[in-house]
Amino acid sequence: MAHLTRVLKSEWTKVTTVRSTLWTLVLAFFLTVSIGIAFSALLKNLSNEERGGPLDPTYVSFSGMSMGQLAMVAFGVLVVSGEYSTGMIRASLGAVPQRGVFMAAKLVACTALALLVGMVTSVATFFGSQLVLGEEKASITDDGVLRAVVCGGLYMTLMALFSMGVTWMLRSPLLAFSILMPFFFIVSGILGVVEATRKIAQFLPDQAGMTMLAVNDLTDFDRAYGPGGALLIMLAWVAAALIGGYVMLKRRDA
């Protein structure tokens, strides 16, 4: 237990003292909150016809989540790949030869930080957006709203963990960024609107994650599952990525 505590302290120090890593979390907060508030202010002045239907004030407040998630992806990539790109991974595994312990400690440290930032971001973007929506705002006590706000923080955290698992498999920041960023920023969206791939795309991690934020049927997701099923899909993707990452970490030399 003492050994695990020391490893946890070491990993916490790593993740909280690297500026580039911390800036990704700041960027995640700024993008999510600012875009959510701006989009809410824009839709407030439009009619239902111009909006394409009734307003879902809770989901609208998370309009910036699609951009904020990219910053969380960057966080997940950097906290893992930084040690590989600098060669520090050799020293880390030399100090902690039990690779499962090493991976678990990094996951605990990064999950704690990502969850804190994710929850603060989700709460801030919800309340900030409701302020500008005026009479059309939602209350945190409305049915499903509190669950959606909590899921917003969980979604950002799970995206970071998924990215960590993928990066452990690839071990290269260039490869991880070149695959994850275009996929979540462009490819997933395209697959989601093309009729031939729409039914498959709904099970991708980002599209399931955004479904977690739905409060009612006003968003017209046309999904085969609800927010609860979306959370299970996200957890399955994260588990698969982390298991794959552990297998690669266990089998490959530093």
The whole-chain average pLDDT of the chain stands at 88
Q: State the residue range of the domain holding 131.
A: 2-251
Q: How far is Cα 59 from Cα 61, in angstroms, rounded to an integer? A: 5
Q: In 171-226, which residue ranges form alpha helices assigned H by DSSP?
A: 173-182, 188-193, 198-201, 205-211
What per-residue confidence (pLDDT) applies to 118? 97
How long a stretch of residues is the chain?
254
Q: In 87-214, which residue ranges form alpha helices assigned H by DSSP?
A: 88-95, 99-133, 145-170, 173-182, 188-193, 198-201, 205-211
* Dihedral of alpha carbons 20, 113, 98, 234, sign: negative
Single-letter residue type at 7: V
For residue range 34-57, what is the model confidence (pLDDT) as tens digits?
A: 999 999 998 887 766 666 666 788
Q: How far is Cα 235 from Cα 133, in angstroms, rounded to an integer? A: 32
What per-residue confidence (pLDDT) applies to 217? 57
Q: Which residues of the chain have pLDDT under 70?
A: 1-2, 47-54, 216-222, 253-254
* Dihedral of alpha carbons 16, 17, 21, 25, sign: positive
Q: How many structural domains are present in the chain?
A: 1
Q: How far is Cα 15 from Cα 165, in angstroms, rounded to an integer? A: 16
What per-residue confidence (pLDDT) applies to 240? 97
What per-residue confidence (pLDDT) applies to 146? 95
